[in-house]
A and B are shown apart, each in its own frame.
Chain A
């Protein structure tokens, strides 16, 4: 038993740099009085001291690896303890953690041992045992190993809720530099294959049949930010294309943590957490706020402003669109007001039918007035700063929030 403790420590530690933690978006129901249910919202069962969510048992099958990627802690040339689970050990841990409500399911990744197919086959075997021998309906996320054969990927899709291949670096040139054994072709290949397989199945599947799920929670990927010279524009354009072409459900961004003393990647003092946060905010704007990439960053402003969020930054660059009339404007424009989230925007649109909304109503609805006030028009709000330049408005808003940002700096 003591060996399992050692293995879990090594292989959880090695897996923790993968940012993906989602357990949502699947459509897998508990059937035949089995164990587990993955139909609804994701659940974060715990939070580590770095504030990240713990939703899945996120482990590597092994951290032995034949590759030598500079950004990766498990790279061949790195001197770390190595370990490997057996299929039964992973199954047992998953079931027992799940029964105690510690987790939503399993996120299994692995170093590449022997060859891609050999590795992928092990991961698939774990998922298959959980589903078939243990009647397990919890969430399973498997890594799709670049270079694994289509047959194995297809089988993985039958048992997993989600598969992911990490694109790692935001450009092929950078990838080549730090991971000479990897190419975009090997990463986009499996993504495209899985996308087509999923689409084909949903086209041909008879209506309402839930018996044969194929990757119900789709695919995701991860990109490392700050380990290579790409601008945010390049990062977000690539993400956008992954959402459009490969139909990914999520792109994760991971601020580069200098885990490896390897001269192919820069030596940073601290991980670029603020930049990571801004990139996530921009990603949110694309997915939930109907922004296009070019409206957030473009050739002229290729990088996100680290001091203010991208939505505020957009508003300051496009003052001609503001102030927005709360009682007249379209939903799309209401969404673009700094200080108004998706829920507030919906509430505004549904409530203004009943009465003309004034400043009190907006407060009740939950609009962040100290942010929104400079960008809206409504009864009861006198806007003394309507003629102020964007530059001055930026400093005015920032000075109001200085205390907050000081705290942020202390904790980040």
Chain B
């Protein structure tokens, strides 16, 4: 039993899984270096990310699962749920030991895996809904900030590319401090030092006008006789309000 330490990347985690199998050991825990506590340093086994090994693990998973497994564990990884790394390890071990058990929802690791998958799936769906673009003044560019509870950016780009093929846009994850930029050709991940971010100035009068029209619309379609705060909050929890135009009445 050992603590495995990796660089926090998906490939890093897959390399840990490879090494653990190589050592025929079951990790006590798998932790990302950024969360590594000082006390653990001494006993932790640090794994250097190896993309070739990571690829081998993915192929091994897909071979056993009719190509369903790699996507599932990627989603689990991005869900950032507590214990995601160890659940992924056990799921892979179960796949290796028992074959394709992904349809066996009675298996605790499979059940847990789909719970995490569901969690991030819901967050992805919410972000499809709750992204609010603002048109940047003097530029043909739309900008949105989100604060999702899972690391959804790698999973939501395609949806917005299909939808806004003819406009440039940036979606910025304020929690993880990175974004996606679509330049009419492809999507690129950008970091806080990207020069484009400095060009995002105050919005225009025209932008304010459309935002106000949206707020007015939102308020007009409410039916007061049917007020149902509990239901409202269940669908639109408060933690998302910060970047929702319609929840900022002006």
Contact = CB atoms under 8 A, between A and B. Distances in A.
A354 B231 contact: no
Interface stretch (B24-32, B84-92, B106-114): B106-114
Give 5 closest A-B pairs by Cβ, nearest first. Answer: A51-B231, A361-B106, A50-B226, A51-B228, A12-B220
A411 B229 contact: yes
Contact of B220 (A16, A37, A96): A16
Interface string B118-133: 0000000100111111
A142 B25 CA distance: 62
B53 interface: no
Interface in A13-40: 13, 15-17, 29-30, 33-37, 39
B140 to A, nearest CB: 11
A257 B225 contact: yes
A8 B229 contact: no
Contacts of B162: 29-30, 37, 39
A48 B223 contact: yes
A58 to B, nearest CB: 7
A51 B232 contact: yes
B204 to A, nearest CB: 13
A412 B231 CA distance: 10
A33 B165 contact: yes
Contacts, number: 165
Q: Give the interface SS of chain A, mostly helix, strand, loop or mixed.
A: loop
B166 A43 contact: no
A49, A135, A270 — which one has the most chain B CB atoms within 10 A of its CB?
Answer: A49
Contact of B218 (A54, A273, A347): A54
Interface stretch (B3-11, B41-49, B208-216): B208-216
B219 to A, nearest CB: 8
A101 B144 contact: yes
Interface residues of B, number: 55
A48 B222 contact: yes
A2 to B, nearest CB: 10
B235 A17 contact: no
B214 A100 contact: yes
Given A8-B217, A33-B165, A49-B229, 8 more contacts: A5-B212, A39-B162, A47-B232, A49-B232, A52-B226, A135-B166, A364-B108, A412-B228
A351 interface: yes
A4 B228 contact: no
Contacts of B164: 35, 99
Contact of B235 (A4, A8, A51, A96): A51
A219 B47 CA distance: 57
A36, A43, A273, A364 — which one has the most chain B CB atoms within 10 A of its CB?
Answer: A364
A50 to B, nearest CB: 4
Interface string A342-375: 0000011011111101000100110000000000
Interface of B: 101, 103-108, 111, 125, 128-135, 142, 144, 160, 162-167, 184, 209-214, 216-218, 220-232, 234-236, 244-246
A364 B106 contact: yes
A257 B223 contact: yes
Given A8-B216, A37-B163, A54-B218, A44 B235 contact: yes
B163 A364 contact: no
Contacts of B225: 257, 270-271
Nearest to A50: B226
Interface residues of A, number: 60
A178 to B, nearest CB: 19
B132 A12 contact: no
Contacts of A53: 235
A45 interface: yes
13 contacts: A8-B216, A35-B166, A47-B235, A50-B224, A50-B228, A51-B226, A96-B210, A102-B245, A135-B166, A270-B225, A350-B103, A351-B104, A354-B101
Contacts of B134: 100
Contact of A17 (B142, B211, B223): B223
Nearest to A39: B162
Contacts of A47: 231-232, 235-236
A12 B217 contact: yes
Contacts of B226: 50-52, 257, 271, 273
B217 A57 contact: yes
Contacts of B234: 51
B223 A8 contact: no
A58 B229 CA distance: 22
Contacts of B229: 49, 51, 411
Interface string A47-72: 11111111001100000000000000
A46 interface: yes
Contacts of A9: 216, 220
A1 interface: yes
A58 B209 contact: no
B165 A46 contact: no
A97 interface: yes
Contact of B129 (A5, A36, A44): A44
B221 A97 contact: no
A156 B101 CA distance: 49
Contacts of A93: 213
A58 B222 CA distance: 12
B130 to A, nearest CB: 7
Contacts of B166: 33-35, 135
Given A8-B217, A13-B221, A102 B132 contact: yes
A368 B167 CA distance: 46
B222 A34 contact: no
